[in-house]
Amino acid sequence: MNEQTRSLLIFCLIGLVAGFLASLIVGGGGLITWLVSGVIGAFVGGFLLNALGVNLGIRNETLSQIVTATIGAIVVIIVARIIA
């Protein structure tokens, strides 16, 4: 397995975990919903935290990415519910 494939799998796994955690907080969803909301949430969370200048202060990089993606996934789920 090359480095790009491995990075993509790790990104999807982080998105899946983040989507699951977000669904525990705001409710609902299944496996595909967790994955989609988590992956989109990773981009949204990264953008929001960077734009607001927020530093989570978490030294573990993977945990920091999961928390960032979870925050973004919560925002994505709430906005999707408002639109729908």
* pLDDT digits 0-9 by tens, 24-39: 999 878 899 999 999 9
Q: At 48, list the tokens.
A: 């929001």
Contacts of 83 (CB under 8 A, 6+ apart): none
**E strand residue ranges, 17-68:** none
Number of structural domains (the chain) is 1
- Give residue-wise pLDDT tens across range 41-84: 999 999 999 999 999 999 999 999 999 999 999 999 999 999 98
Q: Are the C-beta atoms of residues 18 and 41 closer than 8 Å to each other?
A: yes
Give the closest residue to 69 by CA, choosing from 42, 51, 37.
Answer: 42
Phi-psi region of 55 (alpha: psi -120 to 50; beta: other; left: phi over 0): beta
Boundaries of domain holding 73: 3-83
